[in-house]
């Protein structure tokens, strides 16, 4: 085989980093909940840790965007993963019955501090390593790597927890982040245009940088709407995650295998749709592709809410498969449009602003959906479909 065919492209290293990192996140989601529950026999502490994480991430978006726009995005991503992996490894080796909660909080604090910097830098790097028409494929396959990685992580966590216990499993979580940092470090990334020097050092003044961003949004109102509306895809995934456990409890007698099967169906749908997105955009343009993906997701929620009888299992599987396809198509098209529309010197701030909007919407809508689900699971799922439909109407009205 010619040597040229064996050459690993920058996007391949980044795909590997995304996959390995999300294996770590899949492990993390299971093992942290397990550690806290074993130590306290209560789910309240886990909820408090999630609230703490959300508060830290939201507050640090203000600083992450301008720092990323100042340059060195690759170093920011690698440093974020090294710090996260290191604190998790240290915490896993320091756990005792009396210090579990303290070490978990310390690890979550570090993860929360690094998370907004990593996500903003990842958003800025995408168009650099996958320029032009290749960006849509990069974004779509990245979504697949996220889904597959987290599923693998959950499976690995279950196996390791059963055979080796919480401490080695938590250590494995940290190693995944460190491996991700190594793959990022091997990625060759073209020089990305940085924001202009303010006159003191080669970095932005935070408030001056955000002032420039707001001025740009006043000129390009469409960009402002896009960074808000792109979050509908993230919200719909959160709604699915919130609904899956009650669905399995009510309709499948709490069988944990069905939780994995339904989650896996979502990932399969995402995988098969990733190769179709470019042709959809070519045929329908970005806006119609986004709307098509959102409509499929809304219909999938209706299927989850109304599926009953002997066809119930098939309807649920088809709904989750469709959800994965629709979400990947809509999110990839929307994200690519947002990245290409944003000036390179403002991509970090665009990502940070969008994540802040997502945090605000989540804090408002997730409690609303879960509250309705406690009264009626069916109505809660239909409310999720209604919120998706509302976003579709907004996109149709604000062209």
Alpha-carbon distance of 117 to 61, in angstroms, equals 8
Contacts 24+ apart (CB under 8 A), 222-228: 222/341, 223/338, 223/341, 223/342, 223/350, 225/398, 226/334, 226/337, 226/338, 226/341, 227/338, 227/350, 227/353, 227/354, 227/357, 228/354, 228/357
70 and 203 Cβ atoms separated by less than 8 Å: yes
What region does 308 belong to: left with phi over 0, alpha with psi -120 to 50, or beta?
Answer: beta
**What pLDDT was estimated at residue 34?**
73
124 and 116 Cβ atoms separated by less than 8 Å: no
237 and 105 Cβ atoms separated by less than 8 Å: no
**What pLDDT was estimated at residue 50?**
63
Alpha-carbon distance of 236 to 244, in angstroms, equals 12
Alpha-carbon distance of 118 to 83, in angstroms, equals 11
Alpha-carbon distance of 129 to 282, in angstroms, equals 21
Report helix, strand or coil for 68.
helix
**What pLDDT was estimated at residue 22?**
93
Start-to-end Cα distance in the chain: 50
Distances (CA, A) of 232 to 293, 297, 327, 391: 11, 11, 10, 7
Alpha-carbon distance of 17 to 21, in angstroms, equals 6
Helix (H) or strand (E) holding 308: none
Give me the helices (H) in 274-308, please: 277-306
**What pLDDT was estimated at residue 200?**
47
By C-alpha distance, which of 54, 78, 281, 323 is closest to 179?
A: 78
**What pLDDT was estimated at residue 192?**
63
Q: Could you tell me the mean pLDDT of each successive run of 10 residues in the chain, 399 residues long? A: 52 91 86 72 58 78 84 90 94 80 86 90 89 85 86 83 83 94 87 53 57 87 89 90 80 74 83 81 84 94 78 84 92 90 88 88 85 87 94 86
131 and 143 Cβ atoms separated by less than 8 Å: no
By C-alpha distance, which of 210, 182, 183 is closest to 195?
A: 210
**What pLDDT was estimated at residue 40?**
64
**What pLDDT was estimated at residue 247?**
83
**What pLDDT was estimated at residue 1?**
41
Q: Is 200 exposed, middle or buried (0-12, 13-18, 19+ CB in 10 A)?
A: exposed
Buried residues in 265-303 as b, exposed as e (16+ CB within 10 A): bbbbbbbebbeebbebbeeeebeebbbbbbebbbbbbbb
**What pLDDT was estimated at residue 4?**
42
Alpha-carbon distance of 27 to 397, in angstroms, equals 41
Alpha-carbon distance of 344 to 339, in angstroms, equals 8
Alpha-carbon distance of 210 to 195, in angstroms, equals 12
**What pLDDT was estimated at residue 87?**
94
């Amino acid at each position: 085989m010619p040597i040229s065919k064996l050459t690993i492209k920058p996007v391949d290293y980044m795909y590997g980093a995304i996959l390995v990192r999300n294996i770590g996140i899949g492990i993390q989601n299971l093992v942290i909940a397990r550690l806290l529950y074993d130590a306290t026999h209560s789910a309240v502490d886990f909820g408090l840790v999630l609230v703490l994480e959300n508060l830290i991430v939201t507050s640090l978006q203000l600083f992450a965007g301008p720092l990323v726009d100042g340059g060195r995005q690759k170093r920011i991503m690698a440093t974020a993963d090294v710090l996260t992996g290191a604190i998790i490894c240290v915490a896993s080796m320091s756990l005792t019955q009396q210090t579990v909660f303290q070490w978990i909080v310390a690890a979550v604090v570090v993860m929360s501090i690094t998370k907004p910097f990593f996500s903003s830098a990842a958003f800025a790097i995408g168009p650099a390593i996958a320029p032009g028409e290749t960006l849509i494929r990069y974004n779509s396959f990245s979504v697949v790597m996220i889904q597959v990685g987290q599923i693998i992580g959950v499976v690995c966590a279950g196996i390791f927890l059963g055979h080796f216990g919480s401490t080695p499993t938590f250590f494995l979580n940290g190693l995944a982040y460190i491996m991700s940092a190594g793959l990022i470090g091997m990625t060759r990334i073209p020089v990305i245009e940085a924001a202009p020097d303010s006159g003191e050092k080669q970095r932005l003044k935070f408030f001056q940088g955000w002032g420039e961003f707001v001025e740009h949004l006043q000129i390009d109102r469409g960009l402002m709407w896009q960074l808000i509306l792109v979050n509908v895809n993230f919200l719909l995934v959160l709604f699915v995650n919130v609904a899956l456990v009650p669905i399995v409890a009510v309709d499948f007698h709490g069988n944990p295998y069905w939780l994995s099967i339904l989650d896996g169906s979502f990932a399969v749908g995402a995988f098969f749709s990733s190769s179709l997105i470019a042709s959809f955009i070519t045929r329908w343009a970005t806006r119609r592709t986004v709307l098509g993906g959102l409509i499929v997701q809304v219909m999938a929620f209706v299927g989850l809410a109304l599926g009953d009888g002997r066809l119930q299992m098939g309807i649920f599987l088809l709904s989750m498969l469709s959800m994965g396809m629709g979400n990947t198509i809509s999110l990839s098209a929307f994200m690519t449009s947002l990245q290409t529309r944003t000036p390179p010197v403002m991509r970090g701030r665009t990502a940070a602003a969008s994540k802040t909007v997502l945090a605000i919407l989540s804090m408002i809508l997730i409690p609303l959906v879960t509250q309705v689900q406690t009264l009626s699971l069916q109505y809660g799922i239909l409310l999720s479909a209604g919120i998706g439909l509302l976003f579709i109407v907004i996109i149709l009205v604000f062209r």
